[in-house]
Amino acid sequence: MKISNICCIGAGYVGGPTMSVIAQKNPDIRVTVVDNNFDRIDSWNSDNLSNLPVYEPGLDNVIREARGRNLFFSKDIDKAIIEAEMIFISVNTPTKTYGEGKGMAADLKYVELCARQIAKISISNKIVVEKSTLPVKTAQAIQSILDTTGNNVKFEILSNPEFLAEGTAMRDLEFPDRVLIGGQDTIDGKKAVNSLVEIYSSWVPKKNILTTNVWSSELSKLIANAFLAQRISSINSLTELCEKTSADIEEVSLAIGMDSRIGSKFLRASVGFGGSCFQKDILNLVYISKSLGLFEVANYWEQVIIMNNHQRNRFTKNILETLYNTVAGKKIAFLGWAFKKDTNDSRESAAIYVADKLMEEEAYIEVFDPKVSPSKMYSDLNYLKSRDNASNKIYLKPVQDPYKAIENSHAVVVLTEWDEFKSYDWNKIYNLMKKPAFIFDGRNVLNKEELQKIGFDYSGIGKPTD
Ligand code: UDX
Ligand code: UDX
């Protein structure tokens, strides 16, 4: 069946960019993106493309081309659902903060609400596509809700996980390593899969479109994220060893990455991975394994998270110890708050946890990030509930000018690898700071030798200490 009308529920970091590209590449398909956060919809419709709710390099050009032509951001959720032949569910699936599986399992409340709403109002057959990352067998639950609460309308469920990484989303969407589509092995299931294959094949070579059963597709997404995170924790676990032995982690990464069996990607040592996916998906994998009685499997994967927490704590402890075991009353400048460069997303960013620990020690932090808004920084901290919101405002101050953030500080801490940090006037910065002037480079992006020549006391991650 040729699809001519698509609806996507959830206009977030995944739904927004993905639907923009689907619309751009399929001008004959009407794509409507809806969200129950109406402010978000207003921002997606903003005339000023620098006000889009998601910052992704290149996204503005795609929006300019497709919005109003065949791409629409709408508040009329029911209408979009009723008119669509294919509905993507792209709502968030955070880790549960209550009840059974608290702190581990994915919270499927929003997904279920979507399924119920689709079932309630649909009057024609539909293909429902899981875009959100979901635990294995979620499709079964969605199918059951749709079949038993609907109006005798037929629903076909597909799993089509998204593998884009933030910051490079537009490139990842345009040239995906693979598109994964899971469907049922029935005549209608195959027809539904083919409809989605057809949409993607407007721009993705057929050989890169992989079709599997639904469960393989759901599980592959969790496992892909677990493998990627595992590589980072593996390299990060060795940074401590490098620091103690005078090896250099960047040289080690280069040396092992040149082995084509290992490969060079995802071997960048850091203060720890963040983002909305890695921790959540591994916790979910651990939870699923435990609930199936697979304790060795669960413990194995849990180590990836334990190591990531350790890396963040170790980094913070090093700051504290280097600053003579006290940061109370000292000003510390943060460069970066986003969980990686080229995004305004800061979910689970290492910066939040490093800031929180330093604030516990009564340090005053001034943060500069080129894209993350001050309100997002405060909501990240308030969410931790380590202290009241008013105290967070006292101890942390977002600043628009990096040099102002750094002026009179005891230390500069690099938390995100934004390119612009490399080209700052580090001589000027040295003169602005208290002495000794410390730099803690949580991303190994600055030039250690040059900074040391200027007079800085530089610490990187997994770098020999001298
Ligand atoms: C995505 C995936 O969908 C999630 O499974 C994955 O693990 C992380 O990335 P993302 O797009 O990053 O989520 O989340 P977010 O930016 O929070 O967007 C979700 C949107 O869904 C929000 O705008 C929210 O308002 C909307 N939403 C949520 C609804 O429209 N209806 C709901 O019932 C719940
Ligand atoms: C990830 C997956 O890459 C993507 O396929 C999936 O769809 C969603 O989750 P994302 O979280 O957006 O994407 O970004 P990613 O580039 O994977 O980075 C995640 C975190 O790992 C960031 O904090 C990043 O700085 C960190 N990282 C990444 C490292 O510390 N070292 C590396 O070598 C690579």
pLDDT of residue 105: 82
CA of 132 to the centre of ligand 2 (A): 17
Q: Is the C-beta atom of 18 inside 6 A of ligand 2? A: no
Residue 106: per-residue pLDDT: 83
154 part of the active site: no
Q: How confident is the model at residue 24 (pLDDT cuts 50, 70, 90)?
A: very high
- Per-residue model confidence (pLDDT) at position 377: 98
**Predicted pLDDT at 148:** 84
For the Cβ of 35 lying below 6 angstroms from any atom of ligand 1, the answer is yes
Is a pLDDT exceeding 90 seen at residue 320? yes
- Active-site residue identified among 7, 8, 242, 277: 277
pLDDT of residue 465: 76
Which atom of ligand 1 is the closest one to the Cα of 93? 5
Candidates 56, 156, 162, 243; catalytic one = 162
pLDDT tens across 81-136, in order? 999 999 999 999 888 889 988 888 888 899 999 999 999 999 999 999 999 888 77
**Burial letters 62-86, b for 16+ CB under 10 A, else e:** bbeebbeebbbbbeebeebbeebbb
How does strand 30-34 pair with strand 155-159? unpaired
Give the pLDDT confidence of 232-263 residue by residue, as tens digits.
999 999 999 999 998 999 999 999 999 999 99
pLDDT digits (tens, 9 = 90+) for 137-150: 788 888 888 888 77
Across 437-442, average pLDDT: 98
For all residues of the chain together, what is the average pLDDT?
96
Query: How many whole angstroms separate alpha carbon 280 and alpha carbon 299?
Result: 15
How far is the centre of ligand 2, averaged over its atoms, from the C-alpha of 275 (Å)?
7
* pLDDT for position 104: 85
Q: What average pLDDT score do residues 425-441 get?
A: 98
- In this model, does residue 466 exceed pLDDT 80? no
Cα 98 to ligand 2 centre (Å): 27
- The percentage of residues in the chain with a pLDDT greater than 70, rounded to a whole number, is 100
- 56 catalytic per annotation: no
- For ligand 2, whether the C-beta of 228 sits within 6 Å is yes
407 is catalytic: no
Quote the pLDDT of residue 140: 85
Ligand 2 within 6 A of CB of 414: no
Residue 146's pLDDT is: 87
Distance (angstroms) between ligand 2 centre and the Cα of 153 equals 39
Return all residues near 179 (Cβ < 8 A) that are at least 6 apart.
160, 200, 204, 208, 209, 210
Task: Output the pTM of the full model.
Answer: 0.95
**ω into 436 cis (within 30 of 0):** yes
- Taking the C-alpha atoms of residue 138 and residue 339, their distance in angstroms, rounded to an integer, is 28
